[in-house]
Amino acid sequence: MSRQAPMHRTRIKICGITNAADAAMAVCAGADALGFVLAPSSREVTLEEAEKALVAVPPMVARVGVFVDADRGFVSEAVSRLGLSAVQFHGDETPEDCAAAPVPAIKALKVGTNFASGMVEPFRGAAAAILLDTYSSQSSGGTGKAFDWHTHVAALPGWASLIVAGGLTPVNVADAVRLFRPFAVDVSSGVEERPGHKDRTRIDAFVAAVRAADEEDQDV
């Protein structure tokens, strides 16, 4: 009897967590990772606020701190105080900054008309994963809008664990999973009631859409 190949399981990160209730909601829905924005944003939290939000988060759920050109000392303090599993760099951080991080680094790259897959290569061996988000000249953080998945992104090198972000919602995330077959998807505004406050129905629908797309891949 032939053995069935294991199903690809897309990891789900719920970002922009600001309070313990939303953290518990995301964990209960099946999130693999929670993101805490420690940089200027409508979803920014202090270390103290993040500590309170994390109080009931189980140890097997990844904790990710999101930074924008932060001082290395602050990054290290956040990793220590919050028990971060990874750091996510959304600014102009260099490969050297990624390599110097005390935990694995996720480097966000902005996808716009000038994006080329070769931009990933300098981070080989320095970043543990590459996150693709939508370019904006107005913001270093997420835009809440999807980039053109078909036009601007060529095949990425196999060494890069890919995380797709930017305007994902319960409606379009399955398409993103089918197209990219990413390691993970990252959502914030797409599962919110309002900035900084998550919506359980939208989170549940988002998780269900990702899992359904994973199962489709298994059936092919």
Q: Which residue numbers are catalytic?
A: 15, 133
Q: Please, which residues bridge with residue 185 across strands?
A: 12, 164
Beta-carbon contacts of 77 under 8 Å, excluding residues fewer than 6 positions away, are: 47
Cα–Cα dist 126/128, whole Å: 7
* Cα 162 off chain centre by: 10
Taking the alpha carbons of 172, 39, 17, 119 in that order, is the dihedral positive or negative?
Answer: positive
Q: Which of 96, 90, 102, 160 is nearest to 126 (CA)?
A: 96
CB 64 within 8 A of CB 73: no
Q: Which of 98, 93, 125 is nearest to 110 (CA)?
A: 93
